[in-house]
Amino acid sequence: MLIQAAVLAGLLLMTGCLGSAPPVEHYLRVEAVTAGCDKGLPQMNVSPSAVVAFMELTALDNLDRPAVLVANGSVLAPSTRWYWEGAPQDVVGAGIIRAVNCLPGVAGVLKYRPRVEHQAVLSGNVTAFNVQRKNGLRFVAGVRLDVWTKDARRLVGSRAFEVETPIAAETPEGIADAASQAVSRIAAEAAAWLSAGMGGPLAECFAESAK
C-alpha cells in the first residue's frame, strides 16, 4: 500500500510540474511568385551574358530569427507557435534572386565569391518582416538593396523597398499568404529597378565590366 501511494503521489507531482501540453508549432512557407518569368516571353533582344554575384542579405538583430514577429504599433514580440522555414533575410533573398534571374541580360545569379567571374554585385539588408495589428491587420516587409561594381568597391545604386499586404485572418495560412504576396511585390519592384534591359543600375555595372 505504501509503495502504491508513493507511486500515485509521484504521478500527481509530475502532472502538476509538467502542466498543459505546449502549443502546436507551425512552420510557414513563403512562396513568392515572379510575374513575367516565362522563357517564351520576348527578352528585349538582349542575349543573356552577365552574371550577378549575390551577397547574402543581412537583417536587423530583432529580425534575424525564424520566429514570426507580431507587432502592436512599435512593440514587436516573437511568436512561440509560428516560425518561418528560414530567417527573413533568406526568405526575402530567395524571392529577389528568382526575380533577378528572370531579367533580360542576366545569365544567372551566383553566391558572391571574389574569384568567381561576375559583372555586378548585389547586397542589402532586411529592415522589416512582421505582422502588424495596429490600424488594420497586415504584413509589413522591407529591404534596402545596394548594387556594386564587380570589384565591390564602387556603389552604383541603392534603394529601399517597403510593402504592406492585408492579412485575411491571423492564422498560419493567412500570415503565410500575406508574406508571400509581400515578398513577391518587393521582388517585382526590385527587378524593375535593377533591370539591365531598361538602363537600370545593373546595366551600368555590365557596361563598365565590358570595358
Question: Which pLDDT does position 180 carry in this prediction?
Answer: 98
Cell of 111: 553566391
| Beta bridge mates, 130 | 69, 140
Looking at residues 143-149, what average pLDDT do you find? 98
Which strand (E) or helix (H) includes residue 194?
A: helix 172-194
CB atoms within 10 A of CB 9: 10
pLDDT at 7 over 50: no
CA distance linking residue 29 with residue 176, whole number of Å? 6
pLDDT band, residue 172 (cuts 50/70/90): very high
pLDDT band at 137 (very low <50, low <70, confident <90, very high): very high
pLDDT digit string, tens, across residues 115-130: 899 999 999 999 999 9
pLDDT digits (tens, 9 = 90+) for 16-29: 555 566 668 999 99
Give the pLDDT of residue 37: 66
Contacts of residue 18, defined as CB under 8 A and 6 or more positions apart, other chains included, come to none
What pLDDT score was predicted for residue 47?
55
- Kindly state the helix (H) or strand (E) to which residue 190 belongs, with its residue range: helix 172-194
Percent helix, strand and coil across the chain, each rounded to 5?
30, 35, 35
Cα four-point dihedral sign 60, 66, 70, 76: negative
- The pLDDT, as a whole number, for residue 36 is 55
Tens digit of each residue's pLDDT (9 = 90 or more) over 32-75 = 886 556 544 444 445 568 999 999 999 999 999 999 999 999 99
Q: For 89-111, what is each residue's pLDDT tens digit?
A: 999 999 999 999 999 889 999 99
Name the one residue in this structure whose C-alpha cell is 528560414: 86
Question: Packing angle between helix 201-209 and helix 172-194, nearest 10 degrees?
Answer: 50
User: Tell me, what's the pLDDT at 40?
Assistant: 41
Q: What is the pLDDT of residues 173-202, one digit of tens each?
A: 999 999 999 999 999 999 999 986 678 999
Q: What's the predicted TM-score (pTM) here?
A: 0.84
Predicted confidence band of residue 209 (pLDDT cuts 50, 70, 90): confident
The pLDDT of residue 132 is above 90: yes
